[in-house]
Structure 1
Amino acid sequence: MLFQRHGGLQVQVTETVSALQQLAGAALSVELADPVRASLAGYDVLHVFSAINGNHRIIETARELGVPAVLSPLLSPAWNGASALRARIATGVARHLTGGDVQTSFSQIEGALRKADLLVALGEPERAAMRSAFRIPDQRIRIVPNGIGARFFSADGGLFRDRAGLHGDFALMVGAVSPYKNQLGVAAVLAAMGLPFAVIGTAEQRDQGYLRQLQATSGVRYLGGLAHDDPLLASAYAAASVFVLPSKGEVLPLTALEALASGTPVMLTDQSALDLADSGFAFRKVKWDDGAGQQAAIAALVAGKPERKRVQDLVRHMTWPGVARELLAIYQQARAMHAANG
């Protein structure tokens, strides 16, 4: 089901594969594996993205076949020792009541983390979650953040302003429209501030009522979904005065990175692995349900109007070719470790 919808994970997978293919050349073959049609035994290394939705079975099968496996678990930074303890208790109760016939998502994630040869975290908060919640030693974890497409660094806001008719200050949010993403919450904050709110994204059938509520909120301009390679999307990032993403949890959101690459400051949920040193002038993290904190952060970022280049410099080092080089080294490490362990 991975490519039956489109979002940050799909972009991460496709951009990673593309960058690896460009880096590898004739000496190395890199492809998006199809576990329905291809035998996993035919690969030298497997890289699995996401530790949920049954992906633990791919890791288990790789181990059975003797194929090294690298896992990017994409864990929420909200995982910690306390939440893991509750999950372990719930898992134990489920096993007891069903005679071991029921697995929890927690036990599947834990199994995938323990059986992968190496783990790739998107940032220090995700590594901390692996360490504290799942008891994974640091030596098995590597940190490789997402990359950013070069086109976002050269984006111009003129196209979007002309199409959307937004020529003053406005806030932007890009992503699936849903209660988890919390568009309604920040829309209320922005309405109280009198700051227009442009929303790009689609809503699933179950969230159509939520979308109607959002559209009825004062100041909201809903623009529907845009393809990731649509020039209008890059232009929207560059045109906005501030990008907002106060969802209940994010790992390392590409939308926030793309906004920063376009020179636009970002207000992000505090449940995120994205941390940037010396970035307070253009990057603030606030609790998803802290309306007063969100209003203060947005007001400061809009009033500050940081220099575009200075904002871009925060993420200029995050490129997909750089990601590919780091991952290739990790794949080689995984093969060497696997060989050494027999």
Structure 2
Amino acid sequence: MLFQREGGLQVQVRSTIEALRQLPLDVALVDPNRERLDSFDVIHVFSAINGNYRVVELAQEMGVPVVLSALLSPGWNRHTALRARIAERLTGRLTQWSVQTSYAQTKRALQLAQLVVALGPAEQTALIEGFKVDPSRIRLLPNGVGEHFFRAEGYLFRSRTGIAGPFVLMVGSISPYKNQLGLVRALARLDLPVVLAGQAQRQHQDYLQQVLQSPRVHWLGQLDHRDPLLVSAYAAASVLALPSQGEVYPLCVLEALAAGTPVVMTDESALSLPGSDFALKQLRWNDTAALCREIQQFVAAPPRRQEVTALVQAFTWQRVALRIADCYRELADAV
């Protein structure tokens, strides 16, 4: 079901494969319905959840080493893991061990993989404290940013939409979890347009209509990741806002920074950029007063775009691919 939706994970998978294919490396997207895992030297699994533990299990049975990009919420720690283990034991006893919790499945995938990729120090800590992953098996590899975001300009967005002044941009699926309504309400007393780019699933159509009741909201719909209008929107925006309840390592934040646009986002994230406080504010997702205040400050006194861009200058998919390829070779050589 991976490519039945579009989001950060799909962009990550496609961008990683595209960058790896530019190296002297034979890379393919596995179709487990048509191909056996043991026809490959190394398997790279993206995400430890959603039943992917079965892929890791089968690869282990076939003797194929696995690199697992965990993509875990940084909210996992000793306390949350303890509660999850208690729930795991209760579920097992109540069902005579015929039902597994998602925590148990995720833990199994992480324990079986030879190498586990963490996007940042926060996710690394979550892996160690929440799932007892041996630190020696963890590799820190951040996400990348497409080169075209560093060259973004706002003219196309301005000419297409007619929005000439400051505005706040939010990119991502439209849902209560992402909290677009919280953003709109936080900025209710300001004469500041809010531009949304993203799709609402069927169960969130009422939520979308509730968000669109505000006359200041402009909805662009779902835009392809490479759509020039989306790229231009990043550059034209005064601020990118992401007050969602949680993020792993949001690509839209890296893309906005690459375009020179400051960001106000949730602090429930694995993203950590040292020295970025002048352009990146991380706060509680439901702190509407702080959200409004930080956005106002960026609109009134925007940081220099060149300095914002410099924060993620090294975050290219090509550099990420080189380090991932090292992981593949490390496992292939060990077989």
The TM-score with structure 2 as length reference comes to 0.98
Question: How far apart are 1:275 and its partner, in Å?
Answer: 0.9
**Alignment check: 8 A CA contact 1:281 1:304 kept:** no
Which residue of 281, 291, 298 maps to 1:301? 298
Matches within 5 A, 1:121-160: 121-160=118-157
SS at match of 1:173: strand
Structure-2 separation of matches of 1:4 and 1:84: 31
Provide the rounded CA distance (Å) in 1 between the counterparts of 2:125 and 2:162: 44
Q: Secondary structure at the match of 1:142?
A: strand
Q: CA deviation at 1:161?
A: 1.1
State the Cα distance separating 1:37 from its structure 2 match.
Answer: 0.5
- Runs of 4+ in structure 1 deviating by more than 3 angstroms, as ranges, are none
Q: CA deviation at 1:73?
A: 1.0
Q: Which moved more, 1:295-304 or 1:81-90?
A: 295-304
Question: Within the alignment, does 1:23 sit opposite 2:23 as a pair?
Answer: yes
| 1:242 alignment partner in structure 2 | 239
Which amino acid letter does the alignment assign opposite residue 4 of structure 1? Q
Is residue 154 of structure 2 the alignment partner of residue 163 of structure 1?
no
> Is 325-334 or 235-244 further displaced after alignment?
325-334
2:116 pairs with one of 104, 110, 119? 119
- Give distance in 2, aligned partners of 1:156 and 1:335: 43
**For residue 175 of structure 1, what is the amino acid of its counterpart?**
G
**3-state secondary structure, aligned to 2:264:** strand
In structure 2, C-alpha distance between the alignment counterparts of 1:69 and 1:144, rounded to whole Å: 16
Amino acid in the other structure paired with 1:58: V
Q: Which residue type is aligned with residue 74 of structure 1?
A: L
User: Following the alignment from structure 1 to structure 2, what is the Cα–Cα distance between the partners of residues 313 and 140?
Assistant: 31
What one-letter code is carried by the residue in structure 2 that aligns with 1:208? Q
Once the two structures are superposed, what CA deviation does each residue of 1:3-45 show, in whole Å capped at 9, x if it has no partner? 0111000000000001001112xxx310111111000010000
Asked if 2 retains the 8 angstrom alpha-carbon contact of 1:191 and 1:218, the reply is no
For 1:194-213, list aligned pairs within 5 A: 194-213=191-210
Amino acid at match of 1:269: T
Q: How does 1:76-115 map to 2 (within 5 A)?
A: 76-115=73-112
Shift of 1:194: 2.5
Task: Give secondary structure in 2 for the equivalent of 1:22.
Answer: coil
Output the CA distance in 1 between the equivalents of 2:160 and 2:191.
21
Which stretches in structure 2 are left out of the alignment for 5+ residues? none
1-side partners of 2:323 and 2:299: how far apart?
36
Q: Which amino acid aligns with 1:215?
A: L
Distance of 1:94 and 1:164 partners within structure 2: 53
Name the Cα RMSD after superposition: 0.9
The structure 2 residue matched to 1:32, chosen from 29, 44, 65, is: 29
- Identity over the aligned pairs, expressed in percent? 52
Which residue identity is paired with 1:62? Answer: A
Q: Find the partner of 1:325 among 307, 318, 322.
A: 322
**Alignment match of 1:42 (pick from 22, 39, 42):** 39
What secondary structure, in the 3-state scheme, does the structure 1 residue paired with 2:87 have?
helix
- AA paired with 2:5? R
Kindly state the Cα deviation for residue 336 of structure 1 after the two structures are TM-superposed.
Answer: 3.7
**Shift, 1:92, TM fit:** 0.8
Distance 1:111 1:194 in 2: 50
Aligned length: 335
* 1:28-70 C-alpha deviation (Å, 9 max, x unpaired): 3101111110000100000000011110000001110000100
Please tell me whether the aligned partners of residues 281 and 301 of structure 1 are also in contact (alpha carbons under 8 angstroms).
no
2:58 equivalent to 1:58: no
CA distance in 2 between counterparts of 1:133 and 1:192 reads 41
Q: How far off is 1:193 after superposition? A: 2.5
User: Is the 1:238–1:263 contact (alpha carbons within 8 Å) kept by the matching residues of 2?
Assistant: yes
